[in-house]
A and B are shown apart, each in its own frame.
Chain A
Amino acid sequence: QSALTQPRSVSGYPGQSVTISCIGTISDIGGYNFVSWYQHHPGSAPKLLIYDVTKRPSGVPGRFSGSKSGSTASLTISGLQAEDEASYFCCSYAGPDTFELFGGGTKLTVL
């Protein structure tokens, strides 16, 4: 099964909002509410931002929110800050044969 599709890059100015899309199929994002999002700064451990489409772990700022429509999931970052510059990956459960699929990652640049 193919990886989920994310834009290679997005950008925004401090204070603005950006949305990163993650496109899948009925076999993964569209079939289950098990989408998660991760932030990754080079050289550091990836960090969980969102799980089960919309849930935010304790400690993750409310500026990060997740949603889903059909087979497309989205991560919205509002009130952009310089430290948000990183790569972002989506992940979805894809059934009992494939299990987990990741997106190709999106590089966020804060201008």
Chain B
Amino acid sequence: QVQLQESGPGLVKSSQTLSLTCTVSGDSVKSYDYYWSWIRQPPGKGLEWLGYIYASPNTYYNPSLKSRLSISVDTSKNQFSLMLTSVTAADTAVYYCARNPVGYDFYYMDVWGKGTTVTVSS
């Protein structure tokens, strides 16, 4: 059974870089059968798609975050990661990683992690 687990610092200072990792078990991040996604939910708000990576290094980003966001894969650790630079309080959110299966399309997430809370402090 595939499981995804987010990890990273719960507190990041404003203007610094946020780095999160998603560890995948039960599947391979090298697989051509999946895209690997990051999504977040700010407090009291809806979900926001951040981006995904496929057969590294093919990446696709939310245009509103493209200048600050980077997603990468570490095949040796079976992980994929998110880096978000120059963070502000608006980046405070629960961050989720997820898997998008490639089939007729890949525009849905069939497995999610439980999420990790990140707070940006001043």
Chain A residues within CB distance 8 Å of chain B? 3, 6, 32, 34, 36, 38, 43-48, 51-52, 57, 89, 91-93, 97-105
Partner of B114, one of A6, A32, A44: A44
B46 touching A51, Cβ below 8 Å: no
B114 touching A102, Cβ below 8 Å: no
A45 to chain B, nearest CB (A): 4
Scan B1-15; emit 1 where CB is below 8 A from any A CB, else 0. Answer: 000100000000000
Scan B79-119; emit 1 where CB is below 8 A from any A CB, else 0. Answer: 00000000000000000101000001101111111110000
Partner of A104, one of B45, B60, B112: B45
Chain B residues within CB distance 8 Å of chain A? 4, 39, 45-49, 51-52, 60, 62-63, 96, 98, 104-105, 107-115
A102 touching B105, Cβ below 8 Å: no
B74 to chain A, nearest CB (A): 22
A46 touching B112, Cβ below 8 Å: yes
Please give me the residue from chain B that is nearest to A50 by CB atom.
B108
A51 touching B60, Cβ below 8 Å: no
